[in-house]
Amino acid sequence: MRFYIDDLPVIFPYDYVYPEQYQYMCGLKKSLDGRGHAMLEMPSGTGKTISLLSLIIAYQQFYPGRRKLVYCSRTVPEIDKALAELKRLMEYRRSQGCEDKDFLGLGLTSRKNLCIHPRVSKERKGTVVDAKCRQITASWVRNKAKAEGNIEVCDFFEKIQTLESSELLPTGVYTLDDLMDYGRASGMCPYYLARRVIPFADVIIYSFHYMLDPKVAEMVSKEFEKDSIIVFDEAHNIDSICIDSLSIDLNQRTLRASTDSVERLTERVEEMKSQNSEKLRDEYERLVDGLRDALAAREEDLILANPILPDRVLHEAIPGNIRKAEHFVRFLKRFIEYLKARMRVMHVVAETTPSFLQHIKEITFIERKPLRFCAERLASLVRTLEITDLEEYGALAKVAAFATLCATYDTGFMVLFEPYESDHSTVPNPVLHLACLDAAIAIKPVFQRFHTVIITSGTLSPMEMYPKMLDFVPVVQDSLTMTLARQCFAPLVVTRGSDQVTMSSKFEVRNDPAVVRNYGNLLIEMARAVPDGIVAFFPSYLYMESIVAMWNENGVLKDVWKHKLIFVETPDAAETSVALQNYRTACNNGRGAVLLSVARGKVSEGIDFDHNYGRAVIMFGIPYQYTESRILKARLEFMRESHQIRENDFLTFDALRHASQCIGRVLRGKTDYGLMVLADKRYSRSDKRSKLPKWINTCLTDTSLNLSTDMAVALTRKFLNLMAQPFDMQAQLGVSMWANEHIVLYGGRGDIASDAAVAAVANGAALANGAEAMEVE
């Protein structure tokens, strides 16, 4: 269908549009027009991605300037899906007569996911693929190969080098699979191909890290124009990603590996000095000039800033004492020895970065300034020494990044040393954490550089939290509800078992046999009543493991086995993927299955349990973070002081965004249906409920708020019976689904030939819609 938002013709690849999709697009348009940031919450499974793409593509193609869309998503399957939707949209636009000349859309992902080299792609680990790839594609390897021959190079990569960037890829939309197919057909490496054509692409889809992680962003996202449109989809977790991208853990293994690397570096430096000292001298010259080029580029507003390399670093030359390769290697050695010494302490130490630096200075006489340049200097050295196997130097790079970050930021970071893994363990496993506490640091360059950054997800409530944490001002901020012709999801808060004992995952009672038994009974009853698939989420791995073991012993699982097969998420991604696939097979062939998994785990992020794959989702308890964690405590303190966010508010907010994310997995589209069972006493309290997304919250009525297991099962049966009735799609029209006429009716601008037709249909629609529509008229 085609309709107008203001003067912008939007082509939407369906015959109807959900009202919330329309409103969502209106919100988007406003923020694009205003060149400001936006936060939009829209229920999961209501076609967020396609609304977003339809509007932005329409905007991009209609107005001059052709703003590039950079769409960041959480997981690779979601990237795949977004690309598929984009492809379908572009096909539809073409069928509607849009030219969209030279349109190019593609996704980026790692070498492991894209490699088509017959030997390298067989490797199972991503890091190994990276290393092997570099071994045959690095520039000095290729130079050497040209000079000497009989050195293996990657033919797919070589092919790319022979062509101009603009000639590499015909226009169109490429899903990751398409890209690989094209690569195979044309004999070009899809990974490098994608990276080469970034400047020509109109839409780029990749994961958050490519934008937020400075190490990666430096390589791929640096050169986007200022007026690019940046979208973070499924961004409810964006603060954690920001924090993760600037946090570093060092343990003894890392340090040992770094020592080895330093030894190797020393050898390489000696070797090179004896053979070819010219290169080292060149490097020295370059370093005297400092990072002038980077500075120039940034000042000319060409690139995205890198939080690891803040502006003031660029103004200075690399300090003299680490300019020479051998000096720098010795410097690193000293620093690592210092860290090793710190590791021998047997008590917890938490300190700010300035005090950490002060201590270093006292002990080793290492100044702050050279530390700050550590990461950059190491990168330069590795390049000079022509090292391909970066995997071996991963640990050392980590230490260097640690040094740089410590020396760069005075606030927003904490250095924490923990000699034991947990309070109970007796075997020392010392870890030195550099914890980023301020989520705003990593995302700041993005907000500063780009005019429009859109943060969207199914669960962003309460929305005032994000602007505070990420330190930005949204011009549009909206939470949309779900319009429904029939109530196709039923949130149930189960607070007690059939024996009226309160259920809760509160720490004091979670291992209480009565609670465990009641949770078990809930699962059994649900397995009995609900057809096909059930997904159950637990607050943590630890709790899931212990409760599953207890259920196994007290016979709960024996009853569950009678009704359904049981699959459990494990820490290994491959293993879990296989379990997921089997889970789906079991749902499809009628056996039915239960999947036990963890909120915040891999499954809860990005796997959809639509239709028969998830008729019910049970959230056992509230997925609070482990509050005794020192890093979390420090972060809470930081937020209280600098953002005025109360500890409890944040913890509840964080727990409930994950809970709602878990239960939202069950719904996809308005024809789907599913139960959302929240099994904890505390969900019935209003302070918890108010933090659920609006679209779930409005469906929580008094009847479903304080249920015992038997009542919940009765409601479940009723709900499932109701949902099993045939559902006339036409009943949605005008209520939860709009045709062009309805858009006009509600004050929008449709695309209808004659006014008479509008009036006629409007009358009909008015009759259908009753009073609400009449008001509009």
Q: Which of residues 543-562 bind other proteins (CB under 8 A)?
A: 543, 545-546, 548-550, 552-553, 555, 557-558, 561-562
Distance in Å, CB of 586 to other proteins, minimum:
6
- Return the number of the residue (369 or 486) whose C-beta is nearest other proteins: 486
With binding defined as CB under 8 A, does residue 626 bind other proteins?
A: yes
With binding defined as CB under 8 A, does residue 18 bind other proteins?
A: yes
With binding defined as CB under 8 A, does residue 669 bind other proteins?
A: yes
Structure tokens at 313: 């670093």
Distance in Å, CB of 56 to other proteins, minimum:
17
With binding defined as CB under 8 A, does residue 172 bind other proteins?
A: no
DSSP letter string, 110-162:
-HHHH---TTGGG-SSHHHHHHHHHHHHSHHHHHHHHHH--S---HHHHHHHT
- Span from 185-193, 351-359, 492-500, 578-586 in contact with other proteins (CB under 8 A): 578-586
Report 211-240 residues binding other proteins (CB under 8 A): 213, 215-216
Backbone φ, ψ for residue 600 (5° rounding): 75, -5
Beta-ladder partners of 707: 494
Structure tokens at 461: 């409530």
Closest C-alpha among 16, 151, 31 to residue 733: 16
How far, in Å, CA of 198 to CA of 224, rounded? Answer: 9
Closest C-alpha among 691, 556, 666, 532 to residue 608: 666
With binding defined as CB under 8 A, does residue 572 bind other proteins?
A: yes
Backbone φ, ψ for residue 72 (5° rounding): -105, 135
CA distances from 328 to 313, 334, 368, 393, 590 (A): 18, 10, 14, 15, 65
Among 245, 254, 380, 481, binds other proteins (CB under 8 A): 245
Distance in Å, CB of 655 to other proteins, minimum:
13
DSSP, collapsed to helix, strand or coil, labels residue 509 as coil
Q: Binding string to other proteins for residues 481 to 520, with x set by CB under 8 A, is what?
A: ----------------------------------------
- Return the number of the residue (25 or 707) whose C-beta is nearest other proteins: 25
Going by the DSSP 8-state scheme, the letter that residue 306 receives in this structure is B
DSSP, collapsed to helix, strand or coil, labels residue 171 as coil
Closest C-alpha among 38, 40, 238 to residue 693: 40
- Return the number of the residue (494 or 737) whose C-beta is nearest other proteins: 737
Query: Under a CB-based contact definition with an 8 Å cutoff, are residues 415 and 383 in contact?
Result: no
Q: Which single residue is written with the structure tokens 């296989």?
A: 578
Burial of 722 (0-12, 13-18, 19+ CB in 10 A): middle
With binding defined as CB under 8 A, does residue 621 bind other proteins?
A: no
How far is Cα of residue 182 from the mean position of the Cα atoms in its chain? Answer: 27
Among 578, 759, 760, 767, binds other proteins (CB under 8 A): 578
With binding defined as CB under 8 A, does residue 568 bind other proteins?
A: yes
With binding defined as CB under 8 A, does residue 571 bind other proteins?
A: yes
Among 381, 515, 603, 667, binds other proteins (CB under 8 A): 603
| Residues composing the chain | 777
- Span from 84-92, 310-318, 522-530, 648-656 in contact with other proteins (CB under 8 A): 84-92
Element holding 651 (H helix, E strand): helix 647-664
Distance in Å, CB of 418 to other proteins, minimum:
10
With binding defined as CB under 8 A, does residue 118 bind other proteins?
A: no
- Return the number of the residue (15 or 167) whose C-beta is nearest other proteins: 15
How far, in Å, CA of 138 to CA of 133, rounded? Answer: 8
Query: Under a CB-based contact definition with an 8 Å cutoff, are residues 105 and 92 in contact?
Result: no
Query: Under a CB-based contact definition with an 8 Å cutoff, are residues 534 and 594 in contact?
Result: yes
Report 129-148 residues binding other proteins (CB under 8 A): none
Distance in Å, CB of 16 to other proteins, minimum:
5
Helices (H) and strands (E) in the chain, counts: 35, 22
With binding defined as CB under 8 A, does residue 121 bind other proteins?
A: no
DSSP letter string, 493-506:
EEEE-TT--B----
Report 710-749 residues binding other proteins (CB under 8 A): 726, 729-730, 732, 737
With binding defined as CB under 8 A, does residue 582 bind other proteins?
A: yes
- Return the number of the residue (124 or 347) whose C-beta is nearest other proteins: 124
Query: Under a CB-based contact definition with an 8 Å cutoff, are residues 232 and 238 in contact?
Result: yes
Strands 533-538 and 474-479, sheet pairing? unpaired
Among 477, 625, 704, 709, binds other proteins (CB under 8 A): 625
Distance in Å, CB of 629 to other proteins, minimum:
4
Distance in Å, CB of 626 to other proteins, minimum:
4
How far, in Å, CA of 634 to CA of 639, rounded? Answer: 9
- Return the number of the residue (61 or 245) whose C-beta is nearest other proteins: 245
Task: Provide the edge-to-edge strand list for the sheet that holds 565-568.
Answer: 565-568, 593-598, 533-538, 616-620, 674-679, 489-496, 707-708
- Span from 258-266, 269-277, 461-469, 540-548 in contact with other proteins (CB under 8 A): 540-548
Distance in Å, CB of 773 to other proteins, minimum:
20
With binding defined as CB under 8 A, does residue 85 bind other proteins?
A: yes
With binding defined as CB under 8 A, does residue 75 bind other proteins?
A: yes
- Span from 277-285, 325-333, 597-605, 657-665 in contact with other proteins (CB under 8 A): 597-605
- Return the number of the residue (589 or 754) whose C-beta is nearest other proteins: 589
With binding defined as CB under 8 A, does residue 433 bind other proteins?
A: yes
Query: Under a CB-based contact definition with an 8 Å cutoff, are residues 716 and 492 in contact?
Result: yes
With binding defined as CB under 8 A, does residue 247 bind other proteins?
A: yes
How far, in Å, CA of 56 to CA of 28, rounded? Answer: 8
Distance in Å, CB of 143 to other proteins, minimum:
27
- Return the number of the residue (401 or 712) whose C-beta is nearest other proteins: 401
With binding defined as CB under 8 A, does residue 112 bind other proteins?
A: yes
With binding defined as CB under 8 A, does residue 752 bind other proteins?
A: no
Q: How many residues make contact with other proteins (CB under 8 A)? A: 106
Burial of 706 (0-12, 13-18, 19+ CB in 10 A): middle
Burial of 565 (0-12, 13-18, 19+ CB in 10 A): middle
- Straight-line distance from the first to the last Cα atom of the chain, in angstroms, rounded to the nearest whole number: 24
With binding defined as CB under 8 A, does residue 608 bind other proteins?
A: yes
Among 575, 637, 755, 772, binds other proteins (CB under 8 A): 575
- Return the number of the residue (514 or 578) whose C-beta is nearest other proteins: 578
With binding defined as CB under 8 A, does residue 637 bind other proteins?
A: no
- Span from 281-289, 648-656, 664-672, 751-759 in contact with other proteins (CB under 8 A): 664-672
Among 252, 570, 642, 697, binds other proteins (CB under 8 A): 570
Distance in Å, CB of 184 to other proteins, minimum:
11
Among 602, 643, 689, 694, binds other proteins (CB under 8 A): 602
Task: Provide the edge-to-edge strand list for the sheet that holds 749-750.
Answer: 8-11, 2-5, 749-750
State the amino acid at position 175 in one-letter form. T
- Return the number of the residue (617 or 715) whose C-beta is nearest other proteins: 617
Report 176-205 residues binding other proteins (CB under 8 A): 177-178, 181
Cβ neighbors of 773 (< 8 A, separation 6 or more) are 734, 745, 765, 766
With binding defined as CB under 8 A, does residue 405 bind other proteins?
A: no
How far, in Å, CA of 52 to CA of 32, rounded? Answer: 12
- Return the number of the residue (213 or 438) whose C-beta is nearest other proteins: 213
